[in-house]
């Protein structure tokens, strides 16, 4: 099977998966071995849909919710047969619903998390760290690193500028957000590309004090020896929220294998492994706080609350953008400016 | 005699089956891997093909109008910045490579080919690895900054801000990457130069400097231009080095092209940028081709 996947999320049992204690994917590789699995890796959502739009075929894909509709509308995927997924019944209904199109289950939700500002509390004045505008603070020029993720940066700019619909910007709002990002760009040390080989080292060794990140880096900092003084901000404008899931390639010749593979990721132990090893939330609604090894992480992820991504006063779910191409092109203008 | 003559004619006939047949394989190759992709990119640039869902394909020059002056366009500005970086790197690389080539040709003696191999040794490793190695050297916690901290020349933890993720780091790594490659054509010209001309200059009273300036250097100009072109053209479309050691303000034009075809899959706009770059490279080839001999050895003698 060929799988479009984020680096680091390869199934346990494959050579590429080197994190100890990982369980997701293990049931599949235990039963069928790892030799039949091939991964095509992505570093951002635009790249993922780009690969598919330009003709690459995959048996399984692991995109995020903001692009689910693009895959369905483009005819790149087919619905799952949920009766072949024993653990499907345990999944968070709110996330499951987001994967339904035309009454069919096109996406099986698996991982979710927050996106926000992570900063070094030993370097950044707490009075400055209140909201997304921290990225625009010239006091920290050269110590900031935003993600090289086109649409996410426009969502951040939209929240900073106070636009109510961050994923449906008008032409005028898009121009304003573009200008804001062009003004912000020189403050960055670098636009990070890879979370583990790019962002993490820069934050850890102090080259960068302020960055866009997901909550896993905050846990990483706390578990680091010695601990790195990170804070994962709850901006006044709210955090970003996201969830991703598996989609089934339209022309897959491995229909049943693909279901087996997905089941090996959404079963209870696999979902626990996702949270305890990778510090992300999972779609398994049966996970209990007591099963999470890090109580602070469990609290942060509001384990047990199925509507965790619905409270818009705290989190803004990254959603499908009707003008995605215009946003992506605007991001290219920002990087070229 | 007649049999030998017949065999010779057959042999000649075998070697020259007709210019049309001989040119067919390279012509097919050039058409398939050079002309056809450029035509395809041309179709994308005027919207006769598209990778965007729901966008109708109809002839349009909107992307060209958006990109080309006089309208303000960041890609045009990025192009100008990239060309400046490219030209500066090319000139510095040629200036630095010339003494190396001169040393190999005139000083190294019998060891020159062995030393040439040493010079070219970095090319036996991956370009990507060589760039990443520079990341380790230039990084804020890399070799240079750590040395400065250990020597007490800078406060520990305070790295030189422009050492990495800057135009400097991009220029430095490009310079390092191309110096050996640029030295080769200059070495070929210098190594095969007719030494009797230099000796004649000395016999006529020219000092070593005068002989170099009036004889050696003018005769080596084809190699110098070849070296200049060798670095100028590839770096014009460079994107790996700025991606790895460049900062947000030192991305090059090639990064925008790469991004339009991968991260931001708008092939139509990317095709405009790509075709523009192809046109610039062709112009450069035409301009510099006038000064290049097809046989550097002939040029030197």
> Domain residues for B273?
70-300
In 3-state terms, chain A is what percent helix, strand and coil (to 5)?
Answer: 40, 20, 40
Per-residue model confidence as pLDDT tens digits over A142-199: 999 999 888 899 999 999 999 989 999 999 999 999 999 999 999 999 999 888 888 9
Residue of B243, B264, B268 for testing the chain A interface, max A β-carbons within 10 Å? B264
* Residues 6 or more apart in contact with residue B96 via CB below 8 angstroms: B175, B179
The answer, for A214 touching chain B at a CB cutoff of 8 Å, is no
The CATH number for B96's domain is: 1.10.3720.10
Average pLDDT rounded to a whole number, residues A254-272: 97
Whether A335 and B161 lie within 8 Å, measured CB to CB: no
Mean pLDDT of B217-222: 91
Instruction: State what percent of residues in chain A have pLDDT above 90.
Output: 73
Query: How many angstroms separate the CA atoms of A323 and A168, rounded?
Result: 7
Residue A202: both structure tokens together = 């820069």
Task: Give the residue from A98, A80, A111 showing the smallest Cα distance to A6.
Answer: A111
Of B51, B247, B264, the CB nearest to A46: B264
Determine whether the interchain pair B77/A70 forms a contact, defined as Cβ–Cβ distance below 8 Å: no
Residues of B with CB under 8 A from a CB of A: 51-53, 74-75, 77-78, 139-141, 157, 159, 161, 165, 243, 247-249, 251, 255-256, 259-260, 262-267, 269
Contact (Cβ atoms closer than 8 angstroms) between residue A208 and residue A271? no
CA B264 – CA A330 distance, rounded (Å):
10
Q: What residue of A is the nearest CA neighbor of B265?
A: A50
State percent of chain B over pLDDT 70.
89
What domain count does chain B have? 1
What is the model's pLDDT at position B6? 43
Nearest to B74 among A142, A206, A337 (CB): A337
**Digit-coded pLDDT (tens) for B124-173:** 888 889 998 998 899 888 899 999 999 999 988 888 988 999 999 999 99
Which of A90-99, A278-287, B14-23, B85-94 is predicted least confidently? B14-23
Which of B263, B272, B273 to probe the A interface (max A CBs under 10 A)? B263
Residue B64 lies in a domain: no
Q: Do B53 and A331 touch (CB under 8 A)?
A: no
Task: Determine the pLDDT at residue B274.
Answer: 95
What pLDDT band is residue A334 in, cutting at 50, 70 and 90?
very high
pLDDT for residue B298: 53
Contact across the interface for B266 and A331, Cβ inside 8 Å:
no
Sign of CA dihedral B110, B115, B117, B120: negative
Residue range A226-251, pLDDT digits in tens: 999 999 999 999 999 999 999 999 99
Residues of A within 8 A of B168 (CB-CB) are: none
Give the three-state DSSP class for A245: strand
Question: Which of A5-9, A260-264, B247-251, B287-291 shows the lowest per-residue confidence on average (mean pLDDT)?
Answer: B287-291
* pLDDT tens-place string over residues A205-226: 888 999 999 988 998 998 888 9
Helices then strands (H, E): number in chain A?
12, 13
Q: Which of residues 125-144 of A touch B (CB under 8 A)?
A: 142
Q: Which fold has domain A113-240+316-336?
A: D-Maltodextrin-Binding Protein; domain 2 (3.40.190)
Q: Where are the domains of chain A?
A: 2-112+242-308, 113-240+316-336
Q: Per-residue pLDDT for B10 more than 90? A: no
SS3 assignment, position A160: helix
Distance from CA of B180 to the nearest CA of A (A): 30
Q: Is the pLDDT of residue B213 over 90?
A: yes
**Residue among A148, A193, A329 whose CB faces B266 most closely:** A329
Chain A stretch 224-283, residues whose beta carbon is closer than 8 A to a beta carbon of chain B: none
Asked if residue B52 is part of any domain, the answer here is: no
Structural domain contains residue B136 = yes
B24 part of a folded domain: no
- In contact, B291 and B221? CB cutoff 8 Å: yes
Comparing CB atoms, the residue among A44, A49, A188 nearest residue B248 is: A188
Out of A53, A193, A207, whose CB is closest to B51?
A53
Which of B165, B243, B251 is facing A336, going by the closest CB pair?
Answer: B251
Which residue of chain B is at minimal alpha-carbon distance from A207?
A: B140
**pLDDT over threshold 80, residue B5:** no
Which CATH topology does A2-112+242-308 take?
D-Maltodextrin-Binding Protein; domain 2 (3.40.190)
Q: Give the global pTM.
A: 0.81
CA distance A91 to A268: 10
Of B46, B101, B22, nearest to B267 by C-alpha is B46
In CATH terms, are A2-112+242-308 and A113-240+316-336 the same topology?
A: yes
CB contact under 8 A, B264 and A328: yes
Q: Which of B139, B159, B259 sits opposite A335 (nearest CB)?
A: B259
Whether B161 and A74 lie within 8 Å, measured CB to CB: no
Write down the mean pLDDT value for chain B: 86
| pLDDT tops 50 at residue B224 | yes
Taking the CB of residue B8, how many other CB atoms lie within 10 A of it?
A: 10
- 8 Å CB contact between B262 and A50: yes
Quick one: tokens of B122?
Answer: 């970095």
Q: Is B245 inside a domain boundary?
A: yes
pLDDT tens digit sequence for B70-114:
878 889 989 999 999 999 999 999 999 999 999 999 898 888 899
What is the rounded average pLDDT of the residues B250-277? 88
Q: Which residue has the tokens 């602070």?
A: A296
* Nearest chain A residue to B259, by CA: A332
Is the pLDDT at B9 greater than 70? The verdict is no
Q: Which distant-in-sequence residues (6+ apart) come within 8 Å of B93 by Cβ?
A: B174, B175, B178, B179, B182, B227, B231
Is the predicted pLDDT of residue B15 greater than 60, yes or no? no
Distance (Å) from the alpha carbon of B263 to chain A's nearest alpha carbon: 4
B111 assigned to some structural domain: yes
Residue A87 — pLDDT band, cuts 50, 70, 90? very high
Chain B residue with Cα closest to A46: B263
Chain B residues lying within 8 Å of A207, measured CB to CB: 139-141, 159
- Going by C-beta distance under 8 Å and a sequence separation of 6 or more, which residues neighbour residue B201? B210, B211, B214, B215
ipTM of the complex: 0.73
pLDDT of residue A54: 77
pLDDT of the residue at A67: 92
B179 alpha carbon, distance to own chain's centre: 10
B76, closest residue in chain A (CA to CA): A336
Q: Are A151 and A240 in contact (CB under 8 A)?
A: no
A44: chain B residues, CB-CB within 8 Å: 263
* pLDDT of B13 strictly over 60: no
Q: Name every chain A residue with its beta carbon within 8 A of the beta carbon of B83.
A: none
Provide mean pLDDT across the span A91-101: 95
Q: How far is CA B28 from the centre of its chain?
A: 25
Q: What is the secondary structure of B187-199 as a DSSP string?
A: HHHHHTS-HHHHH
Residue B1's pLDDT is: 38
A335 neighbourhood in chain B, CB within 8 Å: 248, 251, 255-256, 259
């Amino acid at each position: 099977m060929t799988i479009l996947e984020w680096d680091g999320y390869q199934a346990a049992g494959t050579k590429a998966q080197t994190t100890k204690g990982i369980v997701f994917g293990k049931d599949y590789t235990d039963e069928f071995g790892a030799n039949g699995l091939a991964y095509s890796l992505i570093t951002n959502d635009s790249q993922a849909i780009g690969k598919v739009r330009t003709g690459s075929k995959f048996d399984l894909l692991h995109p995020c919710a903001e692009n689910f509709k693009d895959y369905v509308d483009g005819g790149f995927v087919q619905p799952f047969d949920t009766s072949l997924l024993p653990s499907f019944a345990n999944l968070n209904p709110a996330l499951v619903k987001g994967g339904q199109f035309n009454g069919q289950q096109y996406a099986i939700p698996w991982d979710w998390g927050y996106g926000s500002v992570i900063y070094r509390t030993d370097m950044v004045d707490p009075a400055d760290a209140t909201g997304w505008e921290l990225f625009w603070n010239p006091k920290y020029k050269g110590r900031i690193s935003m993600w090289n993720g086109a649409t996410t940066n426009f969502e951040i700019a939209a929240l900073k500028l106070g636009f109510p619909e961050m994923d449906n910007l008008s032409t005028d709002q898009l121009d304003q957000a573009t200008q804001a990002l062009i003004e912000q760009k020189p403050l960055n040390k670098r636009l990070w590309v890879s979370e583990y080989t790019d962002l993490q080292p820069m934050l850890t060794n102090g080259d960068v004090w302020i960055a866009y990140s997901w909550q896993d880096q905050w846990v990483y900092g706390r578990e680091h020896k010695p601990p790195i003084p990170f804070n994962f901000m709850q901006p006044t404008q709210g955090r970003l929220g996201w969830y991703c899931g598996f989609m089934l390639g339209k022309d897959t010749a491995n229909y049943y294998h693909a279901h087996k593979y997905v089941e090996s990721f959404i079963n209870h132990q696999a979902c626990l492994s996702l949270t305890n090893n990778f510090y992300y939330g999972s779609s398994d609604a049966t996970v209990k706080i007591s099963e999470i090894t890090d109580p602070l992480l469990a609290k942060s992820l509001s384990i047990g609350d199925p509507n965790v991504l619905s409270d818009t006063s705290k989190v803004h779910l990254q959603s499908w953008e009707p003008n995605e191409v215009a946003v992506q092109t605007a991001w290219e203008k920002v990087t070229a400016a | 005699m007649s049999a030998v003559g017949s065999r010779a004619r057959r042999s000649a006939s075998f070697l020259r089956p007709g210019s049309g047949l001989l040119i067919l394989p390279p012509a097919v190759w050039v058409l398939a891997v050079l002309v056809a992709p450029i035509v395809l990119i041309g179709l994308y640039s005027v919207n006769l093909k598209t990778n965007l869902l729901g966008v109708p394909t109809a002839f349009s020059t909107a992307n060209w109008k958006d990109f080309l002056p006089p309208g303000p366009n960041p890609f045009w500005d990025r192009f100008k910045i990239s060309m400046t970086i490219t030209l500066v790197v090319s000139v510095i690389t040629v200036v630095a490579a010339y003494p190396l080539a001169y040393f190999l040709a005139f000083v190294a003696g019998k060891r020159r080919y062995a030393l040439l191999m040493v010079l070219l040794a970095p090319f036996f490793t991956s370009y990507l690895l060589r760039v990443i190695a520079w990341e380790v050297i230039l990084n804020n916690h890399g070799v240079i900054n750590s040395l400065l901290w250990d020597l007490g020349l800078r406060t520990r933890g305070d790295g030189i801000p422009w050492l990495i993720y800057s135009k400097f780091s991009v220029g430095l790594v490009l310079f390092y990457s191309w110096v050996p490659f640029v030295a080769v054509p200059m070495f070929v010209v210098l190594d095969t130069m007719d030494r009797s001309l230099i000796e004649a200059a000395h016999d006529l009273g020219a000092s070593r400097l005068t002989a170099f300036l009036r004889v050696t250097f003018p005769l080596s100009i084809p190699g110098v231009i070849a070296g200049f072109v060798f670095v100028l053209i590839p770096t014009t479309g460079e994107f790996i080095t700025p991606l790895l050691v460049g900062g947000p303000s030192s991305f090059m034009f090639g990064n925008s092209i790469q991004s339009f075809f991968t991260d931001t899959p708008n092939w139509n706009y990317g095709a405009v940028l790509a075709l523009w770059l192809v046109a610039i490279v062709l112009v450069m080839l035409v301009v510099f081709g006038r000064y290049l001999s097809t046989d550097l050895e002939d040029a030197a003698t």
